[in-house]
Chain A
């Protein structure tokens, strides 16, 4: 059933993302051509036409923002509209488990976030990459790698792996936070949106408090280790490992609690108007 839910969730969200992605890619290519033509012909627009000349850039920036914003906005709207408003009458009468409903939304929102991130990177490449830059990349990489290593930072596959894991965890954690706030709307019959916003703020405050307490007490407990890590470049990587995995662990624990709470509310306190 989860597969079917995911399939239908992709259909429902793809009709927004795919045209947006298409427009963004086309705009990236057009802008690249526009800049290329401008450079090749060496023309400059007169001042009174400069505004028109800026339109492709403005459109590109707007689409860039839209691609990023859509991942969050669509995630909010899909969870709220599809589960809490009238459409919830259909979704909650399907013979599926509550956590499958949540998982399908979470997985699809995460996949779109990853695609959006990759697409933005690709778009920047489309805009700036020339064959010269391509050739220079290995050379730059060597310089950056050596310089970082001299400072005690080793840009290894492991570092890349931990950064990717922590980024994924934080993306998933952010969606779960949104879902938990939306699930809390079931506690109000008449002021659901207000309740959702209030719950989101409250969850944020509580999580930040927990994170601060854990960080500060961790800092006190491991005072000596931290000092030795920060005073010797040999141990910089250890410090990065500790902070990245530490903060990822906190996010995993808090997100797991919020995920459980979201499913519990949707199962036991569902209150569709």
Chain B
């Protein structure tokens, strides 16, 4: 089976700034991968490229062997690092929207998670708190049976209790053939669920390794290694 995500010589230039500088990366199926790097290292750029929201300056990025397009969007579930849903919509309308467009969306799973969190279906998004909005977004994204989940800073704006809930949601909702890429700089929070890590710095991949290897070879946690690699 081909890799779920592959980058070859991927470059993204914004004006004079090079956000990604020749990234080569292969992500296999069935893994939870931490895409770790300081602010501005190119994490979001890489994820946006995988979703076709921006186009590469050079090189290529492939999802399941194909460039981002209609087919890749059927199998990729994406959580951006911003509020991207229509604020005027109710939670129920959003569920209908996802159900209409994504064949792999399971509205029962979504409604079950929403009711556990006490989020009403008739609530309008604009009336919800920032943290609750993020939870709604995550629930919608994780209620898909996708092959690749791209989660950009999924725990950035929520309290520690909500972080636990979100991480639990992630590991209990993806199947063994799917991969989850979590971009974050809050490493200690996600470390326990990661299989592999990719360190990215100034638009380049500086390390790819399994979490077990890091612990064995470096005798360190991922968080400690990150602090060492990215020491200011």
Residues of A participating in the B interface, judged by any CB pair closer than 8 Å: 1, 4, 7-8, 11-12, 15, 82, 86-90, 92-97, 189, 268-272
Contact = CB atoms under 8 A, between A and B. Distances in A.
Nearest to A90: B84
B70 interface: yes
Interface in B102-132: 102
Contact of B100 (A8, A88, A268): A8
B80 interface: yes
Contact of A272 (B48, B71, B74): B48
Contact of B82 (A7, A86, A95, A189): A86
B88 A271 contact: no
Contact of A93 (B14, B54, B76, B97): B76
A268 B55 contact: yes
B85 A90 contact: yes
Contact of A270 (B14, B53, B71, B93): B53
B97 A8 contact: yes
A94 B101 contact: yes
Contacts of A93: 51-53, 73, 76, 78
A272 B53 contact: yes
B52 A4 contact: no
Contacts of B54: 270-272
B100 A89 contact: no
A17 to B, nearest CB: 14
**Which of A7, A15, A94, A269 lies at the interface centre, i.e. has the most chain B CB atoms within 10 A of its CB?**
A94
A12 B53 CA distance: 22
Contacts of B80: 86, 89
A270 B70 contact: no
Contacts of B86: 12, 82, 87, 90
Top 3 A-B pairs, shortest CB-CB distance? A89-B84, A95-B73, A95-B74
A96 B53 contact: no
Nearest to A88: B53
B55 A269 contact: yes
Nearest to A96: B70
A92 B53 contact: yes
